[in-house]
Structure 1
Amino acid sequence: MKPAMKPAVLAVLVALLAGPAMAQPATAAAGTVPGTLAAPATTAAAVAKHYAHLVQSNYDDTLASALVLQKAVQAFTDAPSDDGLKAARKAWLDAREFYGQTEAFRFYGGPIDDKNGPEGRINAWPMDESYVDYVKDTPTAGIINNRKVTLSKKQLSSLNERNGEENIATGWHAIEFLLWGQDLSATGPGNRSFEDFVDGKKPNADRRRQYLKVVTELLVDDLGTLTKAWAPTAKSYRAKFERGGMESVRKIFVGLGSLSRGELAGERLEVALASKDQEDEHSCFSDNTHRDVVANAKGIQNVWLGQYKRADGTTLAGPSLRDLVADKNPALAERTTKQLAASVAAAEGIQAPFDREITGAKDAAGRLRVQKTVDSLVQQSKDLVEAANAAGITKLTLVKP
């Protein structure tokens, strides 16, 4: 399977002035202002605990946004209309902004992608759309047009990636294809008509409605398992992770480095640059790939800084990898912070539609924008490895492109 295959507040002590009741004044550490206590070094345990809180918050927001999508899908399938379809599309796009940031939590065998993890059902790609529904010149293609196939969560889960990695039947991209249809435009996304879901307007419209409802419900279920895994309960994965100390910190670095180089720079950008093929862009039906890239880059930055902006507008902040590295090598911590910011900025420079950015000569403006992002991500992966070493982690096996 090609995997779907996106500034913390430093804990500083308030200056403590030596008072007359103190037998002896506190001894200032080297480099600190006399009369103050040095900020304590950031611990691996503190970083792991705050990371777990950040992960839970991001997954909670993703689940909440997926429930909004489910509500929009239900309203649309109950009474198909152009406005209803547009509302469902908007809900999908909104939810992707949160999910894309969670991909920084992958690649170390956590709840999302251990041997029983739901990642393959949630975000696998690229997708052979004819596996699910009709495509241009093949009006009877797909599971939807085979009335012998039961449309249930269990059945569609079993069909996902059966007999081929591109036989994607579930997840974000199956929903995306059902909402937008094939992208046959050079300048915009797919343009499926709401009438595809209206009885008498398109064959098997009833099954198309049912399929959309079922895969959306399955997505919500799978996201729910992730929120439970990271919930602050005694027997959750989170509880074990928080006790992991430096091993948990190693896992965090593996996730960031692997997404930076192997997945985002490699699978999602370099492959598309090499092929110039629309089929190799991540969210090809909606033309949302440019935002996927930004969300992934932002997710990496979130974890490094120990910050996450929640759906309600509040910002979560706490002990971070940056803090841990800064205790050992402040210059390296600052350099890595700047490199991650440069990657986010480069990603934000990629223009929509992505499938036009990757076309043309090597020096075409769009290709240069994508290549700039690749180069920045490759450099940041090297910086992250160096940062991990500075923190005391000498063995860091990353996913390769």
Structure 2
Amino acid sequence: MNLTTMVKGAVAASLVMTSSAAFSAVSKDQVVEHYADLAHAVFADALTKAKDLDTSINTFLANPSEKGLADVQQAWLASRVPYQQTEVFRFGNAIVDDWEGQLNAWPLDEGLIDYVSADYQYELGNEGAQANIVANESLKIGATTLDIKEITPEVIANLNEVGGSEANVASGYHAIEFLLWGQDLNGTNAGAGERPYTDYVIGEGCTNGNCERRAQYLQAASKLLVHDLQWIEKQWSAAEKDNYRSELLADKADNGIRKMLFGMGSLSLGELAGERMKVALEANSTEDEHDCFSDNTHNSHYYNEQGIYNVYTGTYLRTDGTMVDGPSIADLVEAKDKTAAKEILTQFDAARAQVGKLVTSAEKDNQHFDQLIASNNPQGNKLVNDTIVALIGQTGSIERAAGIIGIDSLNPDTADHEF
């Protein structure tokens, strides 16, 4: 995402918020139903972009080149835009949260997947941290030996958390990211991973060995990503029967509203402010940044925040440029207390603008998230800390909105962080 796109998206969403006043007399049932429509739209977009990524990967592997790898990297970056906006549906909906780990688990011990630098730091006690699936046809974890001669989507799925370690992430966006960029060896200096396209040249010209198996891994991981997104898209589709959507809409509306608010608050507080910012900032650790191989962390944070805004306002700007708009929690709040509704939306706008400063820092000032969290960068540290503070304030507004519309004791997940 470039800054111009971000500004256009923000303006469009603000304009839609004005139009949504037409929904001021909506019911909670209508809000929950539109929430399901919103979820389906964003998961459908994530699926479309994953299919585009898969096509780009196949095109690149058929004839590897420097430009081809750059094209695949751009397809991966594009696929993150809708996906990061789906994470607001995680915490209130167990079906999403239980499924999400196979697609977006991080941080990962990348030595499980492929070659790494000699000074590679990994989770202590993780027996799979240097397994290098690409270079080996069998994998020994403890007393167990696994046959990985053929790298398939099923094999990759079964290797997630092998040996009982959450750092053994074999599938999903970040496994693909590592296979496209390689390790970011720049620490808190400028620069992302620099994997050469020749890592995928079959035969003469192959660098770092095992190019054919590396290509098999990349294709299998991509196919698994598409498969998993196809499954979750159907769970929210109005065209399917006996899926999660039908279960959600059959429940009491207040339960649906609580799931919406809890998901927003938990992503805002425990996950985004806590796990994705506070942990990395306090440890000055590039290993704990989200999209660490590609240096795309600023965009991941921004689109997480955009997802929270989407659910509150009942709006979503689709990847084809069309706008989804309908009954929202914002409408329910406005019907109860117009003054509070304006104050809460102002807080949301402030939080979104603050997270947007991370994007500006990366795209305009060339100061990416891994540089901002460096121990010798007080200004960068302040920018990240100010963003955490804004997210805490936004969470307070989410709890305020909950109280206004009759949802008590929301208690968003803090992920055991103190704020």
Partner of 2:293: 285
Q: Paired residue for 1:24? A: none
Question: Contact conserved, 2:173 with 2:225, CA < 8 A, in 1?
Answer: yes
Does the residue aligned with 1:195 lie in a helix, a strand or coil? helix
Contact 1:45 1:243 in 2 (8 A): no
Counterpart amino acid of residue 174 in structure 1: A
1:123 pairs with one of 104, 110, 115: 104
* 2:212 aligned to which of 203, 206, 217: 206
**2:372 aligns to what?**
357
Q: CA deviation at 1:305?
A: 0.5
| 1:147 matched residue in structure 2 | 137
Match of 1:10 among 2, 15, 20: 20
Q: Which residue of 1 aligns with 2:39?
A: 55
Within a 5 Å distance, the mapping from 1:100-111 to structure 2 comes to 100-111=84-95
**Partners in 1 of 2:57 and 2:220 — Cα distance?**
10
- In the TM superposition, residue 81 of structure 1 has moved relative to its aligned partner by 1.2
Residue 335 (1) aligns with residue 343 (2): yes
Extract unaligned runs of 5+ from structure 2. Answer: 1-15, 121-129, 139-147, 363-367
Superposition RMSD on alpha carbons, in Å? 1.7
C-alpha distance after superposition, 1:92-146 (max 9, x if no partner): 0011011111111111234312xxx321110000011111100012898511111
Q: Which residue of 2 aligns with 1:179?
A: 180
Give the letter for the 1:170 counterpart. Answer: S
Do the aligned residues in 1 keep the contact of 2:276 with 2:288 (CA within 8 Å)? yes
Residue in 2 that maps onto 1:218:
224
SS where residue 77 of structure 1 aligns? Answer: helix
8 A Cα contact 2:24 2:334, kept in partner: no
Match of 1:188 in 2: 191
Counterparts of 2:411 and 2:211, CA distance in 1? 48
8 A contact 2:26–2:331 mirrored in 1? yes
Written as runs of structure 1 = structure 2, the 5 A alignment for 1:33-48 is 41-48=25-32
- Whichever residue aligns with residue 170 of structure 2, its letter is A
- Residue 308 of structure 2 corresponds to 300
Work out the percentage of aligned pairs sharing the same amino acid: 40
Match of 1:241 in 2: 248
Q: In 1, distance between residues paired with 2:294 and 2:24?
A: 48
Q: 2:271 aligns with which of 263, 266, 273?
A: 263
123-132 vs 138-147, which moves further: 138-147
**TM-score, scaled relative to structure 1:** 0.88
| Separation (CA, whole Å) in 2 of partners of 1:210 and 1:129 | 17
Tell me the CA shift for residue 267 of structure 1: 0.2
Question: Which deviates more from structure 2 when the two are superposed, residues 170-179 or residues 243-252?
Answer: 243-252
SS of equivalent to 1:91: helix
Q: Bigger shift: 181-190 or 148-157?
A: 148-157
1:329 Cα deviation (Å)? 2.0
Structure 1 residue runs of 4 or more that deviate by more than 4 Å after TM superposition: 138-141
Please state whether the residue corresponding to 1:111 is helix, strand or coil: helix
Cα deviation digits, residues 13-46 of structure 1 (max 9, x gap): xxxxxxxxxxxxxxxxxxxxxxxxxx86321101
Q: Report the number of matched residues.
A: 365
SS at match of 1:308: strand
The 1:386/1:72 distance shift into structure 2, 3 A limit, reads same
Corresponding position: 1:310 with 2:294: no
Q: How far off is 1:361 after superposition?
A: 4.7
Deviations 1:349-387 (A, max 9, x none): 11232100111357x221111111110100111111121
Unaligned ranges ≥5, structure 1: 1-6, 13-38
Report the 3-state secondary structure (helix = DSSP H, G, I; strand = E; otherwise coil) of the residue aligned with 2:169.
Answer: coil
Structure showing the higher helix proportion among its residues? 2
> CA offsets per residue over residues 182-219 of structure 1, 9 Å max, x none?
00122111000011111342311110000000001101
Corresponding letter in the other structure for 2:108: M
